[in-house]
Amino acid sequence: MNNNTMYANASHVNHGFQHEERRPPPYAPSSGLYPALPQYHGHQNVASQYQIASPSYPSERYPTAQTQNLHHYTPQTASVNTHHTTTPASHYSSPPVHKGSKKKTCTCITIAIITLLIIAGVIAALLWYFGVFSCNGRQCKADNICVSHSQWCDGVQDCPSGEDEAQCFRLYGSNFLLQKYSNESRNWELVCSDGWNDELAKQACEQIGYPRNTYAGYSVISSRASSNSVMVMADSLSSNPNITTQSFLTKGTTCASNTLVTLKCIDCGKNIGSRIVGGTTVTSKGVWPWQVSLQISRNHVCGGSIITPYWILTAAHCVEKYSNPRQWTVFAGYLTQSEMKYATGNSVSQIVKNNFDSTTNENDVALMKLNSPLRMTSNVRPVCLPNVGMYFSAPRNCYITGWGALSFQGSGSETLQEAKIQLIDRTTCNNYQVYNGLITNTMICAGKLAGGVDSCQGDSGGPLVTQENSLWWLVGDTSWGEGCAFRNKPGVYGNVTYFLDWIYQQMQKY
């Protein structure tokens, strides 16, 4: 948490070791008072904030060898002047056109137009042939091939890329209800537990993106669903042990047990230990067991969250300039930076970055795959990815953690810090006094509009979590913000729920 001098429109960005990162100069506020807070229900807390590259756009919280502040502070003001200049275009006269060349020019233009029309016609014919314009089913986006609805999620790969058989299962709600896509109803359906077993459950987990060795079991829950809204076992296939899970299930007409499948593909979201009430320093290793330190040359650069023994979720801006997996080492299960100096971390084999836009900070999420899996202990455990149908709305309480800077542009923390903050409604965060329309669906605001509590440089990529049904869920990854803990400038986080499909696709692919 952050004790800091107030710099309006100053945002921090955590580039790895980028001590020379550009920051806008301070500007003078219009008065000695902060602007009135926008109307909002509930208490707001400010979370991670990163430095903006210009007063118009926020800059991401790029990794530095510092971490973000999870401390209280009393903001002050400083002044800044920024202005833009443009260079007017020079005027010139175009050369004269000879009259004798007009006929020849017209002929060339006509030929060019005819040629372009022919090319366009050929392209249109090819697209029509491959079903782009005439697809009456579903399009294989990666292959430009049309596949009928009945072939989608039927257990047979029809798209060369396998797209039609990927993402046929998903988990719903905080109870982990299993759903399968029905090519008959063209909708997601719950799964009747009649005839269900562990082998089918493991296959479903693999279809989602989890390896078999993380499988944590399935259970059943009483169903109030109507008989025509579930998937049931196909009796004619029940004796075939080699059948795929997709084709094993069919649109149901009855569910005799009236119970549904709930599926745990990984034992996630559990912690041990307790926090000090009102405190900011984490004193037990088991409190936030999914928090990791991402380092280059034994220097902390960013935070991250364990989502499986092989996969770490972090911010895309952390790896934008440092995209070579060999540069990174992941340290899990530690509280202090000094502990990690002499520890052996885990090397990284793969870095997958979403379609990140460094100008707008859109899609600020990335995944790191480890060369060897983390050994799960009470101090090293995965956080739960939010399931479809889980909605986290303001002013829900959340926690942020990290080794970030303890003041704006200050030095990082030696010991892991935590802060309790609240989600802030997107409409409020897009108010002209706050972020003036910069918050998109790929982002979540969290913190305190009054200022004083926030993440800071070095906390980038770290977790924003909340608790539900006794489990901890990953709501966001620390992304950007203006300054640290400034008034009306809460932290902005990558919206993990928005990225769910992308996350599972990468886990399947790699």
The answer to whether residue 223 is catalytic is: no
89-98, 153-162, 297-306, 341-350: least confident range: 89-98
Active-site residue, from 48, 223, 460, 479: 460
Active-site residue, from 364, 425, 454, 459: 364
Residue 372 contacts residue 70 (beta carbons within 8 Å): no
For residue 145, the model assigns a pLDDT of 85
pLDDT digits (tens, 9 = 90+) for 389-444: 999 999 999 999 999 998 788 888 999 999 999 999 999 999 999 999 999 999 99
27-41, 303-317, 460-474: least confident range: 27-41
Global pTM?
0.75
Can you tell me the distance from the alpha carbon of 471 to that of 271, in angstroms, rounded to the nearest whole number? 8
For residue 79, the model assigns a pLDDT of 33
Can you tell me the distance from the alpha carbon of 230 to that of 337, in angstroms, rounded to the nearest whole number? 51
pLDDT digits (tens, 9 = 90+) for 168-204: 999 999 999 999 998 888 899 999 999 899 999 999 9
Active-site residue, from 59, 158, 317, 454: 317
pLDDT digits (tens, 9 = 90+) for 343-376: 999 999 999 999 999 999 999 999 999 999 999 9
User: Among residues 407, 408, 365, 370, which one has the least CA distance to residue 503?
Assistant: 365
pLDDT digits (tens, 9 = 90+) for 115-127: 888 888 787 666 6
Count CB neighbours of 249 within 10 A: 28
From the CA atom positions of the chain, what is the Rg in Å?
27
Q: Give the 3-state secondary structure of residue 246.
A: helix
Label residue 430 exposed, middle or buried (CB < 10 Å: 0-12, 13-18, 19+). Answer: middle
Residue with more model confidence, 310 or 35 = 310
How high is the mean pLDDT of the chain? 79
The answer to whether residue 317 is catalytic is: yes
Compute φ and ψ for 217, nearest 5 degrees.
115, 170
Whether the per-residue pLDDT at 83 is higher than 50: the answer is no
Whether the per-residue pLDDT at 289 is higher than 50: the answer is yes
pLDDT digits (tens, 9 = 90+) for 211-259: 999 999 999 999 875 555 788 876 544 445 555 666 678 777 778 888 9
The answer to whether residue 364 is catalytic is: yes
101 band by pLDDT with thresholds 50, 70 and 90: very low
Whether the per-residue pLDDT at 55 is higher than 70: the answer is no
Tell me how many degrees the CA angle 53-313-55 measures, rounded to the nearest 5.
10
